[in-house]
A and B are shown apart, each in its own frame.
Chain A
């Protein structure tokens, strides 16, 4: 309960940040050339000035800037993200359709990156400066330095085009009409390449942090105490070092959540996945600012939510947090 209270307090503390974000988005909207009505008119192939004026009135675009800001914030608080002229639906509805794909992609990538990074990081730290460490660290560097979309493209060339093992794109086989477990397996099959593509760079980051964190923890006094107790190396690592070394990793999840969402834009575009990221890309291309800003807002909420969960996990791992520093 105390943990929950603490995390809720942290959640409340992110409210001012959210306000700053909203004000920033509104400012960007003001700076953008043309407004919703222009976009609508363009969609309809031009419109007469009188009708556009009426539409402006309808959308409140004739009000003063502060009044518009207040309206904008008021709408966002009710999760009313406006109307997408391109899709002809409320933005919230469009986003909701696309969200599950992105969540699935992010969740699987995060799990893979965290688990893999932890295992490889510990392995590298235990064999520091010997060949397993060198190999793992080199792989990490290469993964980090390679653009994910390029990995994705090369993966398609190798595994889809040449070997034919995996599908080249899409979320599921369209028109196959799979249901239940068959469908889940099909989706998983389609997500293998995108997940690995999105994971690699984060795997590299996690393994590097885990390695450094393990090396750091192993020099600390309480590890010496554990050795002085007569514990074997494995017991020292598993019972004393690991949990301490995990703390920075957990923090990193929160910090990287936004980056991962950004990465999904590219990966979803490469693999033609109908997710939030691809939607963002499409709305940029189609100049659908309402949808784009809606996505940014939802992403911000998502990141805040991830950080809330991270706070809960962190407080469970580290009893010092509850003591309020």
Chain B
């Protein structure tokens, strides 16, 4: 509760929360405001924003409504961001917890795999996965989760390493508690706050990765994604730059919202750093 009050006293964090609520609101409103498929032909192509009251944000080179795509794009972005983050956190926390708690060869083996993933440029690996497994929505989401877990694993491992030697963990062991219980019931709740905070970074990165993939036309072409739209606008960049500009602002807002909330959570959960400032 105290942390929540600290959060609300931080203007940047509140702004982030408002922006996030805005994106969520837009995503929820999409099927109500634009019940049609946003990828259907809606009118004459390349109408400037404001030129036609039916299309407040104009139309793209294929004559699709940009506003409808922006609204539906919010759904896709949030869905991919959230699911990929969950996948990444799941793998990362499990690997990090096991490596940090057990140490020894378990740690060595898991860390080698983590390093392997960290050495491979994640976007390149994402390209490979998409090239091999195809680029429908589910595959892309899973692939993004799969390439972005190493940082979470390292963070969790570091937390576990420091908590493992803490006396309260030793106390649990002297009581005769088993390893699984110590890992998940005693250490994990204490290790989780920094990981949760880091989830903001993971989600921001996931959104950016998906938009880059879509921009290159390598994501699912059958969903309205902001990155797809930017890619579609590339051909008319010199004259109708708004086609690419508008969805870019949408991505900016979404990523900004997620990172501001993450940072706000960090400041609220670790007041020590703030107090020193």
A residues at B contact (CB < 8 Å) = 14, 16-18, 20-21, 24-25, 28, 31-32, 128-129, 141-142, 144-150, 153-154, 156-157, 161, 215, 219, 255, 258-263, 265-266, 269, 280-281, 283-285, 287, 289, 292-293, 295-296, 299-300, 303-304, 307
Contact = CB atoms under 8 A, between A and B. Distances in A.
Interface in B124-160: 124-133
B120 interface: yes
Interface in B226-276: 227, 230, 233-234, 237-238, 241, 244-245, 248, 251-252, 255-256, 259-260, 273, 276
Contact of B131 (A18, A215, A262, A292): A292
Contacts of B131: 32, 283-284, 287, 289, 292
Nearest to A289: B131
21 contacts: A18-B119, A20-B113, A28-B132, A147-B211, A147-B212, A147-B227, A147-B251, A150-B245, A153-B230, A153-B237, A153-B244, A161-B237, A215-B273, A255-B118, A259-B121, A261-B123, A280-B127, A284-B218, A292-B127, A296-B120, A307-B119
B255 A303 contact: no
Interface of A is mostly: helix
A153 B234 contact: yes
Given A16-B112, A154-B245, A215-B277, A145 B119 contact: no
Tier of interface size on chain B:
35 or more
Q: Closest 10 CB pairs between A and B? A: A262-B123, A150-B248, A145-B255, A262-B121, A258-B121, A145-B256, A261-B121, A20-B116, A32-B132, A17-B115
Contacts of A280: 124, 127
Contacts of A150: 230, 244-245, 248, 251-252
B101 interface: no
A145 B204 contact: yes
Contacts of B71: none
B220 to A, nearest CB: 15
A308 to B, nearest CB: 12
Contacts of A258: 118-122
A85 B200 CA distance: 42
Nearest to A160: B238
Interface of B is mostly: helix
A284 B135 CA distance: 11
Q: Which of A18, A129, A149, A266 has the most CB of B within 10 A?
A: A149
Given A150-B230, A287-B131, A261 B124 contact: yes
Interface string B89-127: 000000000000000000000001101101111111111
Given A31-B133, A156-B237, A258-B120, A149 B215 contact: yes
Given A16-B112, A215-B273, A295-B124, A161 B238 contact: yes
A281 B216 contact: yes
B120 A263 contact: no
B161 interface: no
Contacts of B259: 141, 144-145
Contact of B121 (A16, A129, A292, A303): A303
Contacts of A161: 237-238, 241
A260 B123 CA distance: 9
Contacts of B216: 265-266, 269, 281
Contacts of A293: 128
Given A215-B276, A262-B124, A281-B127, A14 B115 contact: yes
Nearest to A307: B119
Contacts of B86: none
B119 A154 contact: no
B215 A147 contact: yes
B266 to A, nearest CB: 10
Contacts of B234: 153
A141 B241 contact: no
Nearest to A258: B121
Contacts of B208: 147
Given A153-B234, A284-B131, A24 B122 contact: no
Given A17-B112, A157-B237, A300 B120 contact: yes
Given A142-B252, A299-B124, A17 B119 contact: yes
A265 B123 CA distance: 8
A303 B230 CA distance: 30
A303 B276 CA distance: 37
Contact of B230 (A14, A20, A129, A149): A149
Contacts of B233: 153
A130 B245 CA distance: 32
A169 to B, nearest CB: 11
A314 B199 CA distance: 29
Given A18-B119, A157-B237, A300-B120, 11 more contacts: A21-B119, A141-B259, A145-B255, A215-B276, A258-B120, A261-B124, A266-B212, A284-B218, A289-B131, A295-B124, A307-B119
A255 B151 CA distance: 10
B106 to A, nearest CB: 15
Contacts of B273: 215
Given A28-B132, A145-B255, A299 B121 contact: yes
A219 B273 CA distance: 10
Contacts of B276: 215, 219
